[in-house]
Amino acid sequence: MQCSLKTDPRYTPADWLTAPSPVAYDQAVGFMEERVRLIREQGANDLVWLLEHPPLYTAGTSANAKDLLNPAFPVYQTGRGGQYTYHGPGQRIGYVMVELQKRGSDLRRYICDLEEWMIGALKEFDVTGERRAGRIGIWIKTKNVEAKIAAVGVRVRKWVTYHGVSINVNPDLSHYNGIVPCGIKDYGVTSLHDLGVKIPLSALDEALRKSWKEIFA
């Protein structure tokens, strides 16, 4: 299912950045907030920022304290949607700063497009990512077992989005044991390497760029 936003003729293609090493969470949030301001006040281009974080947990606006089982890593409260999630090396994070007013001012469709963006990138490696009703994120079904491979969490300030998505390439999946990921107890998490797809982050980056053009360009 594609649900791409209608794009205003004034829209300029997004800039892309890739961080060469893990970025501290508070530093990343400060960077995003400044870019959001520049987009809103000075008409800067949208930005897709690909990065990793050191091991940490973040709590979205719907997070339930009981889902923080063992805070072995720093925990950050954040204004994005969603519940608890883990970030760490081997996970590709895509922070997306987009001017929604030039894309139809439709947040629901934007989130749908973010999901489709990840589904398209995974397809490049013959991995079928799927949505599930009532379960945020992208899911993989193998041998009748479902597990989450990608997450979505978005915040909007004056119609400019930030935060974004994460896809598990080869993180330490045991680090998820400290939380109930996204408040969902009945399903686990997986990664591309766990599925036998042994690729570097750079290969996923290439697939994300290709899929972005198909969904957002």
The answer to whether 99 touches 13, Cβ cutoff 8 Å, is no
What is the end-to-end Cα distance of the chain in Å, rounded?
Answer: 17
Integer-rounded Cα radius of gyration of the chain: 16
* Nearest alpha-carbon partner for 152 in 203, 85, 211, 98: 85
- Angle (deg, nearest 10), helices 201-215 and 107-123: 130
Please tell me which residue in 182, 201, 208, 215 is annotated as part of the active site.
Answer: 182
Query: Active site includes 3?
Result: no
Which residues have C-beta within 8 Å of that of residue 154, sequence separation ≥ 6? 80, 81, 107, 110, 111, 114, 161, 162, 163, 164
Amino acid at 6: K
| Cα 134 from Cα 182, distance rounded (Å) | 11
Looking at the annotation, which residues are catalytic? 182
